[in-house]
Structure 1
Amino acid sequence: MMSGLKILGWIINAILYLVVIALWISIPDELKLCLSITVVTLILTIVMVVLDRERLAVIYESSQFTNFAQAFTAGILLFGILGMLNYFAWKNPIQWDVTGNNTYTLTDQTIKIVKNAKEDMRFLVFAKRVEFNQIKTLTDLYFFEKNNIHREYIDVETRPDLVSSNNVLKSPTIIVEYQGRREHVTVLNELSITNAIKKLSLGKLPMIVFTTGHGEASLESEENEGISHLGGILKNSNYNVVQMNTATTKNIPQEAEALVIWGPRQGFRKDEVQRIDEWVAAGGNLIIAFDPDLNGEKFPELKNILLKRGIYVSNDLVVDRLKHVNGSNGTVPMVDRFNSTSPIVKEFRGPIFFPLVSSISKVKGELEGTFTTVVSSMPFPASWAEKSNAEVIEGKVVFTQGKDTPGPITLAATWEGQSSRVSVFGNSTFLINTYKKFGENFIFFSNALNWTIEQDVLISFNLPVVKQEPVFISKPQLGIIFYFSVIVAPLTMFGLAFMFYRRRAVL
């Protein structure tokens, strides 16, 4: 009876060792589970050795065990040497990319930027577990060039606490950490990651100036109508965010990368407008957002700055009957029509929404520059720009031929001159704290900010041209490949194995 229990104990112990190996291979991140099963298995082994010590003592004293111990020790030493070689190979990896267009090789620009970053770097990867392997393939390319990049993978489905504490707005996201600063990467490709590393390598934080004193949304207000959530995102993205009242400040700082006028409610004085216009003309970058005002136009002088550059922001209301937020009667468009030629939305899919938005259009301006539509509504008859405030107030908006403007309507646009960039939005409230859970809105603004201040450091790479060299295989050739790989090769290997077995038996 006791002998049978001992045999059962050894069988269970052996099964537990197999389970331990499987756990460490399949789910190494679950440390508590893996360690607990490992400890239980080792304790059971010690218990079995104590209980079965008499039979084991006989085995220990046998010549077979002595030979086994010598072979086992030699094996441990061999695996130790191989482990050290593997560690050095892992710390100093080498790979050969044999693809015709260097698909699995970083560009020369990226390699230079990565190697110039001397200190340790960390990649925090927030994604679903099923996405880890695909993302690892990309991050491996950076690790091959810089072996002091430390990578940590966090499952967004099991660690929502870390997602919230790290201000992760979408999955997958890579947070690049370098020199105590962070940059969020939401578009997972080489260009986006390299831009983040380049930005973190710069010594000075870009200064972004937000105007105050005209009823703009407050970066400090945590109320629903404030934009403190946006302010937190900007600070976490390594921007030096400054608030300034242009009515009481004589000059806009020359070191400012951009001036942001976000949803003013009161008009600007002429001297303020003049200072802003002169600052932009001298090479300053401008980000500006207006909201529709049913009480009439309040910012004619401020909008003249845009008119000089061929941008007209109308005081109307864009209606989209096809794609809008439920219950909005079409006045809160849900937008997913992006201009893929714009760097701001080249890899952006949305959707985003604008709660009451004005139309933006291209006109003939005094200054030369390039006007680009970034976001637009659906084509007519789904959308149009409603010009009648009376219809809006009554809640009976209908398209009036000859008065309203048929869609598609531009909702956000950019202008690029010789020395300055301008980003214009027909709505500002899409970034208020009420909508802080709608991450796509904030990612869209961050992309626009990066473009405006030219922090999209690398617009493109000098990628090699992909050679189109298709391989055509005939049906007989496919048959040869199939039969050789499935039948001939296995039978040949089996035959060789059987032949060697018989030879050893004879000897």
Structure 2
Amino acid sequence: MQKINNYKIILKYLFVPGLILTVAGLVPIFLTQTQTILYLTLVIVGSVFLFIWLVYLLVTGRSFWQKRSTQIGTNAFISTLSLLTILALINFIAVRYSPRIDLTENQLYTLSLQTQEIIKNLDKPTKVYVFDKEINPRDEDLLENYQRYNDNFKFELVDPDKQVALTQQFNVQSLGDVYLEYEDKKQLVQTLISFNQREPLSEIELTNAIATIQKDYIPKIYVLQGHGEYSLEANPEGSLSEASKSLESKGYEIKTLNIVENGGIPDDANVIIIASPKRELFDQEVTALQEYSKQGGNLLLLLDPNIDPGLDPILKDWGIKLDNRIVIDGSGAGNIVGLGPTTPFITNYGNHPITEEFTNSISFYPLSRPVDTIEVENVQGTSLLVTSEQMWAESNLDSEEVTFDPQEDISGPFDLGVALTRTIPSETVENQVKEDNKAEAEKTDNNQESSAKNNDDIDNTNKNETEKNNDSPPKETDKVTDSNKDETENSNKSQSEETDSNKDETEKNNDSPPKETDKVTDSNKDETENSNESPPKETDKVTDSNKDETENSNESQSEKTDSNKDETENSNESQSEKTDSNKDEIENSNESPPKETDKVTDSNKDETENNNNVNKDKIESRLVVIGNSTFATNNLFNQQLNGDVFLNSVQWLSNQDEQTLSIRPKQAKDRRLNLSPFQATIVPILSLAVFPLLGLIAAGITWWRRR
């Protein structure tokens, strides 16, 4: 009997564990949207307990439901179940739709409108990989905030030590790298750990990376070659292969450029890097770079001292003046790390997007030169790398002890690197292009006219030579010396003796002119006739003393006459060839302008394409000049901020054609109160003693009055 009563008690309260188990299984199922074996087991067991309890109630009779305690218990159960259901629904809605209310003044925890728009427009899966041991909770909140706006956005924390294959696939260089994957593209967004300090994930960097990776084109960076510049091939020290890999990881395409072999500068060049050429560029190459820069192109010049690459025309256009003196760091910072005084350590940076985050950080530039700027119209320059007052530019490194000479050296501070922006109205550029086209056309016309004049001059020259040959014997007998007279007499006598040959030659010459009637006159006939007529005149003037020499030289002069005849024939033939060639030149000159204008047209097309990439009213081009190149080579690229200076320079140069996102970093407003010493002393006294004491006194007075 006692056992039966015990069973009745268990069955009577069986609904309690049944309800607990059922709720414990249903809540995680709704929250996690997963149906594990554990959750399902809890629901099933709880449901069975509730079912048994209901059966027991039905069996015990109707008197049970009529009891007051049963009614109260039922009401309590229904109320509890309703409350739990409401709470479960609230949690389900909160997790699924995640409504957020940002009560901070600067909306620190709300994505900017630009970011929201970009994320909402994601039409393909985009995933962020954080290669780190653990993720910062604030970074995780930011990524979850991105994910709320679009299901196509995902993120994953990757432990490089555990997921080696994925780490190698992304070519991860350091712990804390954040990569973005979109279709088959991979791009480095940010490195969270730098110099053993952890930085928060930047909304600006991430949103800009998402906007960039979705674009159809890839920014193309060209590295000039052909003059001893650093190559892109893997080399322990003397190459830019590490810099190239870093640029590729940021979504750029890197190519080499030989302007001579390529026939010009490619149309798709966003930036051209000129890294320490050891030989001068051709004038045509410099001109091509000038035109590229004028039409909105961007240049990064890394120029070492004591080397003249022949870029003065470009530097002059931008107002850049290079100094060949070597920068000396008198602070001794280089000696500490074993680099010596010729390696200046830079910690002062200009207010520019390239260096705005470099505050008090170090970059160094072995064997560098100062870079000075001159004011030029439409050009705005900003200092990037500024030396300290303890540095100077040394002109004499041959002395045993390097010291500052006020008369020969330049004292710091001065610039090692500058960034310049040139804005020119598009009308000015168009007018310049038109003037260049006109000049090219005029040059072509001048070539045509000069070709025609050359032909006329050649004809006139031939005629004059013929006339001179006809008239020369009488004139020369009056002016020439006795020896010349002898030679003249020899030629006259030999010609008189060779009259028959002259007649034959005359017949030949008479036959040849009809073939060359385009430009050649009857000079051969005249020469032959004049030569036949000249001997009587010459022989009358010759002295007796010269007769002997004349007789001795008759035979040799006759040979000369024959050779002269041959030369005359050859000259006639060559003259006809010249005439034909001149005709060809005229025809070619008439045909050549279209070819030259085709080249000009091609360059104008390139310029037009560059103009289309920028503002219609103004054309903006950018230039960065650094008086050193070794800082970007493999050996030093990953040291301190050297790589950041290079990468940020390229990024700034390549962005002017893009609509960069105007996302300002959100910062919490500083609400700290600056207290004076007196205020700092009185505040604790008031809060800990005076105000509590006043409260107690007021309470005591109130109690006393009521009493």
Calculate the TM-score normalised by the size of structure 2.
0.53
1:261 aligns with 2:248: no
- CA positional deviation for 1:67: 5.6
1:362 aligns with 2:370: no
Which aligned pairs between 1:99-498 and structure 2 lie closer than 5 A?
99-127=104-132, 129=134, 132-154=136-158, 166-168=170-172, 172-181=176-185, 182-186=187-191, 188-293=201-306, 297-299=307-309, 301-322=310-331, 323-324=333-334, 326-339=337-350, 341-349=351-359, 350-365=361-376, 367-379=377-389, 382-391=390-399, 394=400, 396-418=401-423, 419-438=620-639, 440-454=641-655, 457-458=659-660, 460-461=662-663
* Residue number among 21, 29, 32 corresponding to 1:72 in the alignment: 21
- CA positional deviation for 1:169: 5.3
What amino acid sits opposite 1:211 in the alignment?
Answer: L
CA separation of 1:406 and 1:160: change in aligned 2, threshold 3 A: farther
CA separation of 1:82 and 1:218: change in aligned 2, threshold 3 A: closer
Larger relative helix fraction: 2
Q: Is the 8 A contact 1:222 1:433 kept in 2?
A: yes
What amino acid sits opposite 1:177 in the alignment?
Answer: E
Q: Is the 8 A contact 2:319 2:374 kept in 1?
A: yes
What amino acid sits opposite 1:331 in the alignment?
Answer: T
Unaligned runs of 5+ in 2: 1-6, 34-88, 192-198, 424-619, 693-707
What amino acid sits opposite 2:387 in the alignment?
Answer: S
What amino acid sits opposite 2:330 in the alignment?
Answer: R
CA separation of 1:263 and 1:352: change in aligned 2, threshold 3 A: same
- CA positional deviation for 1:401: 0.3
- CA positional deviation for 1:205: 0.2
- CA positional deviation for 1:389: 4.3
CA separation of 1:159 and 1:368: change in aligned 2, threshold 3 A: same
CA distance in 2, matches of 1:93, 1:185: 27
CA distance in 1, matches of 2:171, 2:158: 14
- CA positional deviation for 1:361: 1.2
CA distance in 2, matches of 1:422, 1:332: 24
Task: State the 4+ residue runs in structure 1 displaced beyond 6 angstroms.
Answer: 156-165, 462-477
CA distance in 1, matches of 2:202, 2:622: 25
Q: Which has the higher contact order (CA 8 A, sep 6+)?
A: 2
What amino acid sits opposite 2:113 in the alignment?
Answer: D
* Residue number among 81, 88, 91 corresponding to 2:30 in the alignment: 81
What amino acid sits opposite 1:176 in the alignment?
Answer: L
Deviations along 1:391-440, one digit per CA (max 9) or x if unpaired, are 4xx5x321110221111221111000111000111111112122354263
Aligned length: 412
Deviations along 1:48-94, one digit per CA (max 9) or x if unpaired, are xxxxxxxxxxx9xx757786356313431243234447677545432
CA distance in 2, matches of 1:443, 1:463: 20
CA distance in 2, matches of 1:192, 1:267: 39
Unaligned runs of 5+ in 1: 1-58, 484-507
- CA positional deviation for 1:318: 1.0
Q: Percent identity?
A: 27
- CA positional deviation for 1:240: 1.7
CA distance in 1, matches of 2:122, 2:660: 16
The secondary structure found in structure 2 opposite 1:446 is: helix
CA separation of 1:127 and 1:412: change in aligned 2, threshold 3 A: farther
- CA positional deviation for 1:196: 1.4
**Structure possessing the higher radius of gyration over alpha carbons:** 2
